[in-house]
Structure 1
């Protein structure tokens, strides 16, 4: 077995409950409970803000598409009238 395969095998075994508990205890000792709570709160607020901005952006896009569609609908009769006028003018000139 080569060194690369051994490293991959070890990385594949990471995540056992015992190893995760040890890592969590070390993180708790390094940062402390109060700091971890504030980090968790900040992370939660960041996720909420991101979701809100995404939903606002989607709502703005939908509103903009609706307005553009309304403009197209409003312009269709005007274009038809212009086309009819051009046809009438062409017939008179012939």
Structure 2
């Protein structure tokens, strides 16, 4: 017994779930769940290995430099649009 639930009650619940959702939908749900768990484990392992590696070789750019690059890109895009018109 699991917390007062007998095997017969579990079988009845399983039969009702199969009748409502069907075996195909339950099979797809199982595959999706398995894929999600696999992706989660991979992400956890990747994060752990990245923490052990040294910092990236290229230092981060200052925020002011990033903002200037963004403005330059926007300016170039705006100029291309005006040239087409």
TM range (shorter): 0.5 to 0.7
Structure 1 CA distance for aligned equivalents of residues 52 and 15 of structure 2: 47
TM-score using structure 1 length: 0.54
Q: Deviations over 1:40-90 (max 9, x none)?
A: 0000000000000000000001113xx5xxxxxxxxxxxxxxxxxxxxxxx
Q: Give the corresponding residue for 1:44.
A: 34
TM-score using structure 2 length: 0.59
Q: Give the corresponding residue for 2:8.
A: 18
Q: Determine whether 1:30 maps to 2:16.
A: no
Structure 1 CA distance for aligned equivalents of residues 9 and 52 of structure 2: 48
Unmatched 5+ stretches in structure 2: 56-85
Cα-Cα RMSD = 1.6
Q: CA deviation at 1:26?
A: 0.3
Radius of gyration: which is bigger? 1
